[in-house]
Structure 1
């Protein structure tokens, strides 16, 4: 016999059909099991109701920086999977729609055009790469669609008038300042800076130089490296001959590998300091012994630091999602970004419009995500200022 079609609210559930004692026990067991996997969600329903909040992500799943994009994507997916398993947000699942742009601007723009044309898409989330975000930003700002957690530390995404763009991660300026402050604290005077000859590298250089001026450090010996790394060897030779105590590295991708290998072949006693975009497991593995001893700034906590509640929650979600890769900083960053999105969606109430969602995002003041604070102020400022230094150990693992 067929079951008559009923509206969602009128459909009987299995729990409602059970005797009261069994129903109570079933609900208690389900809530206890879910809370064990994701205690930050509290008790709730086991499955999301009908409907979903669809959000779009253009990121590099392949290409030269595919390892970065894939790690963040997996971390975000783990968070949303845990949220959806607990009933979603106000009973609605969060559906992450991801398109691969292979770290190519034309593909990223085509992806964003597709997202902006989709009337059922609620927001853009965690799109990746300074060049890609710079290209897509005018369209996104003009559309008014919420753009949450663009993956860049560049100031170009921090637009004072763009209330629909919500930056989370600490900026490249924050990272460069942390590195220079540390070097000043330990008494380093003879400093070199190598930076990529693009907008990313120039921003790192300017931020580092401003910090050095403020701390009254001597002027650094500075060199550039082209995006194709063709002059990485020449840059390494110039810095190796500069009698330096430390080098700040404002490079990403292939230039990082080529420069570090060339420099280590010439000089092994000089401390190397790099930004978070360099500190991926793939890059560290590719460098091998040349990575040992490098100091790298990170914009999220160490993903093995289970003293922090947010890391414990992340590890539980990562395991529940069946992830086989070792948890990384980038995966944790994707997870944190997803948690922030879900929190704002929760605060915005049932069936919120984009305006209510943006109000909820900007209402996140000193919100403690288990040791990681989100504090929204103005669109030209990122909501997190978290930066800590890590060290690459002999086994390639990060240490604090």
Structure 2
């Protein structure tokens, strides 16, 4: 080989090394997400993931050259707690993510509490309003949805104060999710001098509701507050319509009004409390940006896609306030500051200047 050839080869090797070093030197913030991508509640998890990716992809394409790339690592847990534990261990201890994000569900979140306490990794925007996540003292959490307690209060307010119902029953998913909301519903009824006329239960990830339907018929209920996912709840309502049970229904946001309503037959009266405004009609810059992004995709304008999108938006704004590598305390403080002072996100939730608590919204099928 000639001297020129050797020099040229060395130049190529040097250039390749520089390019590889530059590529590897690009800052990356790793975000881990465990959610239901399969199983009977998969539409919720798929939509939360899609909404988050919608914004993260936009952010990565338009960020400054020296800004960190967001790497979202998503694992499927089928809404089963033991799978969430396996996923969380992999994400936290093997993949070394900077935060866990958008984990779906109360029993799944509760199952990884020891991992959160041990690792101190930030637990951001879980898809649950469980009370144990509202003000924890042993691990780090940030919520961008109101509590199930507030949703339960609104359901009972609707049934008792507005509709004047007296015979209210509960249909409860038999796990931590069901117990959490059951407690809030029972307390809200007790504040008004009532108690549930009957409490019926079914197992998570099943649609075994026949026994609950028999009990509801026997007790001649006027209102049924339901806690579960869209599959068993829609089956209960449709079967109740078939057997002539005339009652009003309500459930919290986790059920997904979009998926629940799509499965209903006839004209039952159903209320679903929501933790984000209707993305089709909400006002503000971010609402407009979301609708435009959805128009250029295959996604739909529903609350779960919107919630995932809002979660990702707020996270990227907070990350930009912190030096790299990301410090957990900085990230958590930045998220709280953005929620309290970012006019773009506050405009979406229609928050007043001094308002810190996120509101509850309503969707109706009737």
TM range (shorter): 0.7 to 0.9
Q: Counterparts of 2:132 and 2:290 in 1: how far apart (Å)?
A: 30
**CA deviation profile, 1:221-269 (whole Å, cap 9, x unmatched):** 1221221657622322322343433221123244313322222223454
Does the residue aligned with 2:33 lie in a helix, a strand or coil?
strand
**CA deviation profile, 1:376-398 (whole Å, cap 9, x unmatched):** xxxxxxx75321111125xxxxx
Q: Which residue in 1 is equivalent to 2:108?
A: 132
2:322 to 317, 327, 348: 348
2:335 is equivalent to residue 361 of structure 1: yes
Once the 2 structures are TM-superposed, how far is the Cα of residue 343 of structure 1 from its aligned partner? Answer: 1.9
CA 1:89–1:222 in structure 2 vs 1: closer, same or farther (change >3 Å)? Answer: farther
Q: Counterparts of 2:64 and 2:113 in 1: how far apart (Å)?
A: 29
CA 1:65–1:384 in structure 2 vs 1: closer, same or farther (change >3 Å)? Answer: farther
Task: Give the structure-2-normalised TM-score.
Answer: 0.83
Q: Which residue in 2 is equivalent to 1:380?
A: none
Is contact 2:198–2:219 with CA below 8 Å preserved after alignment? no
Q: Counterparts of 2:89 and 2:196 in 1: how far apart (Å)?
A: 43
CA 1:244–1:121 in structure 2 vs 1: closer, same or farther (change >3 Å)? Answer: closer
1:218 to 194, 218, 221: 194
Does the residue aligned with 1:347 lie in a helix, a strand or coil?
coil
Q: Which residue in 2 is equivalent to 1:46?
A: none
Q: Which residue in 2 is equivalent to 1:52?
A: 28
Is contact 1:295–1:389 with CA below 8 Å preserved after alignment? yes
Structure 2: gaps of 5 or more residues: 1-7
Q: Which residue in 2 is equivalent to 1:91?
A: 67
1:389 to 355, 362, 365: 362
**CA deviation profile, 1:135-157 (whole Å, cap 9, x unmatched):** 11211221011111122222233
Structure 1: gaps of 5 or more residues: 12-48, 376-382, 394-400
Once the 2 structures are TM-superposed, how far is the Cα of residue 371 of structure 1 from its aligned partner? Answer: 2.3
Is contact 1:271–1:294 with CA below 8 Å preserved after alignment? yes
Q: Which residue in 1 is equivalent to 2:307?
A: 333
Is contact 2:229–2:256 with CA below 8 Å preserved after alignment? no
Once the 2 structures are TM-superposed, how far is the Cα of residue 274 of structure 1 from its aligned partner? Answer: 1.5
Is contact 1:233–1:263 with CA below 8 Å preserved after alignment? no
Is contact 1:60–1:70 with CA below 8 Å preserved after alignment? yes
Give the RMSD, CA atoms, in angstroms: 2.8
Higher helix share: 2
CA 1:122–1:266 in structure 2 vs 1: closer, same or farther (change >3 Å)? Answer: same
CA 1:184–1:366 in structure 2 vs 1: closer, same or farther (change >3 Å)? Answer: farther
Q: Counterparts of 2:302 and 2:264 in 1: how far apart (Å)?
A: 17
After TM superposition, list the pairs within 5 Å mapping 1:1-400 onto structure 2: 5=15, 50-87=26-63, 91-118=67-94, 120-162=96-138, 164-186=140-162, 187-214=164-191, 216-227=192-203, 232-267=209-244, 269-289=246-266, 292-320=268-296, 322=297, 324-349=298-323, 351-364=325-338, 366-367=340-341, 368=343, 369=345, 370-372=347-349, 385-392=358-365
Is contact 1:366–1:373 with CA below 8 Å preserved after alignment? no
Q: Counterparts of 2:320 and 2:357 in 1: how far apart (Å)?
A: 20
Task: Give the structure-1-normalised TM-score.
Answer: 0.77
Once the 2 structures are TM-superposed, how far is the Cα of residue 351 of structure 1 from its aligned partner? Answer: 4.4
